[in-house]
């Protein structure tokens, strides 16, 4: 079965920057499972995976436009030092967890430290970066009707127990 829209796909992957630095990998973890075509993974990776079959391997090179997008200057915000969490010695490049609009954790990076304020960068840490993914397709199967309604996968065929379909609920 080939990877196409509304298939449930499992992959093992290693994501690298173009200089070879590994930023994420499924090695030692369970394979990443997602519904293909639903925007759960970055667009460039979906394009690279389309048409692949189980056990196939591939190296997918992805320009930043089809990964995490360009760095946006307006995503940098100056925050008064008094509003920063206490007990943290701030350093440029340090990552903190802020809370996103839906309460989800969002990584932010300390971009600059001024006298009274700190410039926080809300860009994705991989914004503006070209990426290289080494992927291996583990499994391709049809999504069940329930999975498509929920917008996420049900590993091992077990339902998540949720009656309410929630588009933005993410599964670990």
Question: Taking the complex as a whole, how short is the minimal distance between the CB of residue 158 and Zn ion, in angstroms?
Answer: 9
Per-residue 3-state assignment (H helix, E strand, C coil) for 39-65:
CCCCHHHHHHHCCCCCCCEEEEEECHH
If the CB atoms of residues 121 and 147 are measured against Zn ion, the closer one turns out to be: 147
In what side-by-side order are the strands of the sheet with 117-121?
A: 76-80, 117-121, 105-113, 95-99
If the CB atoms of residues 71 and 148 are measured against Zn ion, the closer one turns out to be: 148
Question: Taking the complex as a whole, how short is the minimal distance between the CB of residue 13 and Zn ion, in angstroms?
Answer: 23
Rounded to 5 degrees, φ, ψ at 147 are -65, -40
If the CB atoms of residues 129 and 150 are measured against Zn ion, the closer one turns out to be: 150
Closest CA to 108 of 136, 144, 145, 83: 83
Closest CA to 141 of 48, 37, 12, 35: 35
CA distance linking residue 86 with residue 120, whole number of Å: 16
Question: Taking the complex as a whole, how short is the minimal distance between the CB of residue 12 and Zn ion, in angstroms?
Answer: 23
If the CB atoms of residues 19 and 158 are measured against Zn ion, the closer one turns out to be: 158
Q: How many residues bind Zn ion (CB under 5 A)?
A: 2
If the CB atoms of residues 73 and 156 are measured against Zn ion, the closer one turns out to be: 156
Question: Taking the complex as a whole, how short is the minimal distance between the CB of residue 18 and Zn ion, in angstroms?
Answer: 37
Site string for Zn ion, 95-134 (x = CB under 5 A): ----------------------------------------
Our finding on whether 7 is near Zn ion (CB under 5 A) is no
Question: Taking the complex as a whole, how short is the minimal distance between the CB of residue 40 and Zn ion, in angstroms?
Answer: 13
The full DSSP string for 8-44 is: EEEEEEEEEETTS-EEEE-TTSPPEEEETTTTSS-HH
Interacting positions 129-168 with Zn ion (CB under 5 A): 150, 160
Give residue 64's Cα distance to chain centre: 13
Binding site for Zn ion (CB under 5 A): 150, 160
């Amino acid at each position: 079965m080939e990877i196409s829209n509304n298939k449930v796909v499992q992959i093992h992957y290693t994501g690298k920057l173009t200089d070879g630095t590994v930023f994420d990998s499924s090695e030692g973890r369970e394979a990443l499972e997602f519904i293909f075509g639903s925007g759960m993974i970055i667009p460039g990776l979906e394009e690279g995976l389309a048409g692949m079959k189980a056990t196939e391997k591939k190296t997918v090179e992805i320009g930043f436009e089809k990964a995490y997008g360009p760095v946006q200057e307006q995503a940098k915000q100056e925050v008064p030092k008094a509003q920063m969490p206490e007990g943290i010695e701030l350093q440029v490049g340090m990552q903190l967890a802020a809370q996103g609009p839906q309460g989800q954790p969002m990584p932010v990076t300390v971009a600059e430290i001024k006298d009274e304020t700190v410039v926080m960068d809300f860009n994705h840490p991989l914004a503006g970066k070209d990426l290289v993914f080494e992927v291996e397709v583990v499994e391709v199967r049809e999504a069940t009707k329930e999975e498509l309604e929920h917008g996420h996968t049900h590993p091992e065929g077990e339902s998540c127990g949720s009656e309410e379909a929630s588009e933005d609920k993410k599964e670990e």
